[in-house]
Structure 1
Amino acid sequence: MLDPETNCAKSGPSGIHAILIDRSDPISEQQAQRIRQTIDKLKNDATFGLRFDIYTFQGDTTHALKPKLQICALGKPSDANEWVENLELVRRRYETKFANVLDQTISDLLNASSQSNSPIIESLRGAAISSFGSIQSGQIPLRVTMISDMIQNTPQFNQFQAEADFQKLSRSVAWPTLQPQLKGAHVDILYLLRLSAQRNGKPIQNRGHQAFWEQLIASSGGRVTNIDPL
């Protein structure tokens, strides 16, 4: 029995893939094209029962972060058994109840937007609680895709003003309230390049900035599997 709203089985998903989209700065047409290509591949590769949880970076340290969309993949038409299934019905159901819904949500979130803050750490923590909180480590595959310039910008921790230093952050009194619990999740980062993002005349986005996030994610029980500059 599947939930009519999410397509998910009552017994739970076969895996969870949380996708977080940064809307703090406009996304260029080429970046949006690459993002859609990545989402298309994730969608086409998804096996039946894999749940996608789509978020924007709007978390804080106190409130629950709720997904913009939570939807499980349905069986692909190419996997249907023509002897016992109506292939046209399978195709229509896959497209209208899964593929088109996911595509529309992503398109809506890629539209021009601008937010004053970019709480990346808080949002990753909030998404992990909402998506992975009831799951035991190793129970099912867990994955995170972060689509962002990864420049943390909040009053408490602003990478436009200070160098990204994970060791300093991890020793701070704020770290326990910020640390995500990723439970072994594999993490991919679509690293949106912002040439205008500079501190003291030098680019913020560099290898040290990427290393900060690799260290933070590893310290939080996750593993960065890919950083793809867009």
Structure 2
Amino acid sequence: MKTENLAIVASLLAGVALVGFFAAPSLLRGPPRDQETLCPKTGPVGQTLILVDKTDPWSEVQAGRLKTLVKQIGDELPADRMLSIYVFNDVFEPGFPALISLCNPGKTASELIGNPRREYVKWVEKFGRPLDDALKVLTTPAKGNQSPIVEAIGDVVARRENRVETGDRKLVLVSDMLQNSGQYTVFGNGAGARDPEKLRQLLAKVWQSSGAASWALSVHQVQGLYEPQRLEQAATLWQQAFRKMNVAVSWDRL
């Protein structure tokens, strides 16, 4: 009887080992991924979207701070989370393309137990290098007469490709926050210029129609070429509008 029991146990263990043998390669490789976005084919797990306003030139110091910020976000991005970077200028066109939109593929089990140097090179090729290429574009000076910040926010967060079904969504806005478009401006003395209620109404409309309320918002205000007083005035207008809308926002100077 004991011999029979041992035989049964041995048979079961052999079966488990056989299943493990065939399953191991799949487990070590990680989940199937989209070849373009590197996201799991089941979809990304959360998204961080960086929206950069390049309607005004920045100093080298500010460009360096932007690079540090984006690099930090990329380095700390969890596996399977999507990082999307959009850049807009004064010639605003709805549907403008993303500079980069990739998931961090992370490290699979085979990479962790394999050759660390070789697997790091693979990760750089898949995710690190495209991010570095995007940083070169982000820090290139630009200038324009318009600054359609509200319009750009509404455009990118409303897109189908930015509606991840799993995980949270974070919107990181890098701008001087000096809105200047046909819908609202902080410049001049015309009717509605710097009117806090008009800005609130515009933001409320965009937040409702685009689904921006489902995003956690952080603003990194860039000084650019403008005096601190003008920037502070713009910051106050935006922050007052967000408070009246009950929109939580993290705000700092870049």
TM-score band, normalised by the shorter chain?
0.7 to 0.9
1:165-186 deviation per Cα after TM superposition (whole angstroms, max 9, x unaligned) = 44233447x9636754224322
Q: For the Cα contact (< 8 Å) 1:66–1:127, is it kept in 2?
A: no
Q: For 2:225 and 2:162, how far apart are their aligned partners in 1?
A: 36
Q: Which amino acid aligns with 1:100?
A: R
Match of 2:231 in 1: 205
Match of 2:12 in 1: none
How does the TM-score come out when normalised to structure 1? 0.80
Structural RMSD (CA)? 3.1
Q: Which amino acid aligns with 1:140?
A: G
Higher share of residues assigned helix:
2
Query: Please, which runs of 5 or more residues in structure 2 have no aligned partner?
Result: 1-31
Match of 2:139 in 1: 110
Query: Please, which runs of 5 or more residues in structure 1 have no aligned partner?
Result: none
1:187 Cα shift?
1.6
1:95-141 deviation per Cα after TM superposition (whole angstroms, max 9, x unaligned) = 111112112112212201112211000000111112676346xx411
Question: 1:9/1:148 Cα in 2 relative to 1: closer, same or farther (>3 Å)?
Answer: same
Match of 1:185 in 2: 215
Q: For the Cα contact (< 8 Å) 1:148–1:192, is it kept in 2?
A: yes
Q: For the Cα contact (< 8 Å) 1:187–1:224, is it kept in 2?
A: yes
1:16 correspondence with 2:42: no
Question: 1:8/1:221 Cα in 2 relative to 1: closer, same or farther (>3 Å)?
Answer: farther
Q: Which amino acid aligns with 2:120?
A: R
1:42 Cα shift?
0.8
Q: For 2:122 and 2:94, how far apart are their aligned partners in 1?
A: 35
1:35 Cα shift?
1.0
Alignment of 1:204-223 (within 5 A): 204-206=230-232, 208-217=233-242, 222-223=247-248
Match of 1:196 among 219, 226, 238: 226
Q: For 1:177 and 1:72, how far apart are their aligned partners in 2?
A: 27
How many equivalent pairs are there? 219
Q: For 1:60 and 1:183, how far apart are their aligned partners in 2?
A: 26
SS at match of 1:124: helix
Q: For the Cα contact (< 8 Å) 2:79–2:105, is it kept in 1?
A: yes
Match of 1:169 in 2: 199
Match of 1:228 in 2: 252
Q: For 1:171 and 1:119, how far apart are their aligned partners in 2?
A: 16
Q: For the Cα contact (< 8 Å) 1:49–1:73, is it kept in 2?
A: yes
Match of 2:156 in 1: 127
Q: For 1:3 and 1:149, how far apart are their aligned partners in 2?
A: 36
Q: For the Cα contact (< 8 Å) 2:176–2:222, is it kept in 1?
A: yes
1:4 Cα shift?
1.5
How does the TM-score come out when normalised to structure 2? 0.73
Q: For the Cα contact (< 8 Å) 2:37–2:103, is it kept in 1?
A: yes
Q: Which amino acid aligns with 2:132?
A: D
1:216 Cα shift?
4.6
Q: For the Cα contact (< 8 Å) 2:46–2:82, is it kept in 1?
A: yes
Q: For the Cα contact (< 8 Å) 1:21–1:146, is it kept in 2?
A: yes
Q: For the Cα contact (< 8 Å) 2:55–2:89, is it kept in 1?
A: no
Q: Which amino acid aligns with 2:140?
A: N
Q: Higher Cα Rg: structure 1 or 2?
A: 2
Q: For 1:28 and 1:98, how far apart are their aligned partners in 2?
A: 28
Q: Which amino acid aligns with 2:79?
A: F
Q: For 1:9 and 1:216, how far apart are their aligned partners in 2?
A: 38
